[in-house]
Amino acid sequence: MANPAVGGPASRATLPPEIGFLLGEGVPHATLAQAAALARICGTDAATVLVNRGLMDEELFYRALARALGTVFLDHVPLGENARYPQILEVGAAPLADGSVRSVVAAPRGAAIARLLAGYARMASPPAITSPRRLRLAAFACFADAIADGAANDLPRHYPEWSCTPGPAWPSLCLFGLVVLLFLAAGWLPQAIGLALLAVGQGAVLAMLTLRLSAVMVPARTEPESGGRRVPERALPTYTILVALYREAVILPRLIHTLGRLDYPVLCSKLTQKR
């Protein structure tokens, strides 16, 4: 078992506990210090920065955590009958099936890693460890139907005003039927009334076309309003831009150039390609 204390008290004192144990795994202090510095800037934990910034592979991190805790790392996560989605992903832990090497598996993040390292010595049997990715894959395999239903229906189910899912069809059918009846009735109405109805319909279409064409001619405002208060860069929130592309390599240089022109401080940028 690797000893979390290896690396020297002075070195560990400068590092957050959720990554300090990696000194005993041979990870350079400079790499861990870089993750800690970025974490302070971003307002997050150092373990998240270490993995998401690509300074250390997620799989290697959690294997090292398992060794530091003296427990097993699970490549395959057999979830127990009491596992519930999405709670297991929110908590980062789940019960395991009967007959597993441990009763619980954990994929802790951030402060939970530090708490686990601080209290594992008092545990009779530390939980098995896996990576968040492996726990997520196990949840997707076990709760595929529930996840698909949630992805398709949660928005219209909980926030129907934000969803474009079609509602009841009867209002549209009634309106369509009314229009059809008007056209049919136009043949039985006096000629003057029929012409008046036709003129009203054409006028409505012309009005919509005029509004759309006028909107095209109105220039968009590209400059900020004068006199606005400028927020200091350090007070701005941190956000991530994810751009999904598929067979669009031609536009990639232009896209990167356009994103680079955003008037927003850049903490770090990373282009990841997955096939």
Same domain, 139 and 183: no
**Domain count of the chain?**
2
Structural domain contains residue 269 = no
Same domain, 17 and 129: yes
Q: Give pLDDT, residue 2.
A: 41
Same domain, 33 and 98: yes
State how far the Cα of 272 lies from the Cα of 8, in Å rounded to an integer: 35
Same domain, 15 and 108: yes
3-state secondary structure of 218: coil
Average pLDDT over residues 189-205: 79
Q: Is the pLDDT of residue 148 over 60?
A: yes
More confident residue, 170 or 153: 153
Structural domain contains residue 78 = yes
Same domain, 71 and 188: no
42-91: per-residue pLDDT in tens?
Answer: 888 999 999 998 999 999 999 999 999 999 999 999 999 999 998 999 99
Same domain, 136 and 202: no
Same domain, 137 and 197: no
Q: Give pLDDT, residue 55.
A: 93
114-130: per-residue pLDDT in tens?
Answer: 999 988 878 888 899 99
Structural domain contains residue 264 = no
Dihedral sign, Cα of residue 139, residue 140, residue 146, residue 151: positive
Same domain, 98 and 199: no
Same domain, 16 and 112: yes
201-250: per-residue pLDDT in tens?
Answer: 788 889 989 999 988 888 776 666 666 667 787 778 888 888 888 888 88
Q: Where are the beta strands (DSSP E) in 82-129?
A: 93-95, 104-106, 128-129
Same domain, 114 and 206: no
Structural domain contains residue 19 = yes
Among candidate residues 118, 144, 170, the one where a domain is terminated = 144
Structural domain contains residue 240 = no
Structural domain contains residue 44 = yes
- Whether a cis peptide bond, with omega within 30° of 0, leads into 168 is no
Of these ranges, 109-113, 158-162, 163-167, the one predicted with the greatest mean pLDDT is: 109-113
Same domain, 28 and 130: yes
Q: Is the pLDDT of residue 257 over 70?
A: yes
- Long-range residue pairs from 117-121, CB within 8 A, at least 24 positions apart, any chain: 117/4, 117/17, 117/18, 117/21, 117/65, 117/68, 117/69, 118/17, 120/69, 120/70, 120/71
Confidence of residue 273 (pLDDT cuts 50, 70, 90): low
More confident residue, 119 or 192: 119
Among candidate residues 170, 193, 216, the one where a domain is terminated = 216
More confident residue, 1 or 242: 242
Residue 229 — left, alpha, or beta (φ > 0 → left; ψ -120 to 50 → alpha)?
beta
Q: Give pLDDT, residue 77.
A: 95
Q: Give pLDDT, residue 94.
A: 95
| 0.85 surpassed by pTM | no
Same domain, 19 and 63: yes
Confidence of residue 112 (pLDDT cuts 50, 70, 90): very high
Among candidate residues 216, 245, 265, the one where a domain is terminated = 216
Structural domain contains residue 253 = no
Q: Give pLDDT, residue 61.
A: 96
Structural domain contains residue 271 = no
More confident residue, 52 or 164: 52
Residues linked to residue 73 through DSSP beta bridges, in sequence order: 129
Average pLDDT over residues 87-103: 93
Backbone angles phi and psi of 61, in degrees to 5:
-60, -50
More confident residue, 47 or 168: 47
Average pLDDT over residues 98-114: 92
Mean per-residue pLDDT over the chain, rounded: 83
Q: Give pLDDT, residue 274.
A: 53
Domain with 106, as residue range(s), is 9-144
Q: Give pLDDT, residue 1.
A: 40
